[in-house]
Amino acid sequence: MSIHLTVFGDPIEHSLSPILHYAFAQQFGIDLLYTKTHASKEVFSQMLTEFYSYGGIGANVTVPLKEHAFELCTKVTDAANLAKSVNTLKWQDEQLLGTNTDGAGFVQDLTVNHHQPLEHQTILLLGAGGGARGLLGPLLDQNPNMVYLANRTFERAINLCDEFDRDNLVPMDFERLDVLDQKIDVIINATSSSLNQDLLPIPDFMFVDSFVYDLMYSETGQTPLTQHAKLRGARHAVDGLGMLVEQGALGFEFWFDKKPETQSVIRALSQQVT
Write out the catalytic residue numbers. Answer: 66
3-state secondary structure the chain: CCEEEEEEECCCCCCCHHHHHHHHHHHHCCCEEEEEEECCHHHHHHHHHHHHHCCCCEEEECCCCHHHHHHHCCEECHHHHHHCCCCEEEEECCEEEEECCHHHHHHHHHHHHCCCCCCCCEEEEECCCHHHHHHHHHHHHCCCCEEEEEECCHHHHHHHHHHHCCCCEEEEEHHHHHHCCCCCCEEEECCCHHHHCCCCCCCHHHHCCCEEEECCCCCCCCCHHHHHHHHCCCCEEECCHHHHHHHHHHHHHHHHCCCCCCHHHHHHHHHHHC
Q: Does 122 bind ligand NDP (CB under 6 A)?
A: no
Residues 43-82 within binding reach of ligand NDP (CB under 6 A) = 63
Smaller CB distance to ligand NDP: residue 73 or 225?
A: 225
> Which residue among 2, 153, 264, 274 contacts ligand NDP (CB under 6 A)?
153
171 lies in the site for ligand NDP, by CB under 6 A: no
To ligand NDP, the closest distance from the beta carbon of 21 in angstroms equals 14
Of 174-203, which residues contact ligand NDP (CB under 6 A)?
190-193, 195-196, 198, 200
Nearer of residues 96 and 225 to ligand NDP, judged by Cβ: 225
Q: By CB under 6 A, how many residues form the interface with ligand NDP?
A: 27
Closest CB 65 distance from ligand NDP, rounded Å: 10
Q: Which is nearer to ligand NDP, 53 or 197 (CB)?
A: 197
Site for ligand NDP, rule CB under 6 A:
63, 102, 127-132, 151-153, 156, 190-193, 195-196, 198, 200, 215-217, 240, 243-244, 247
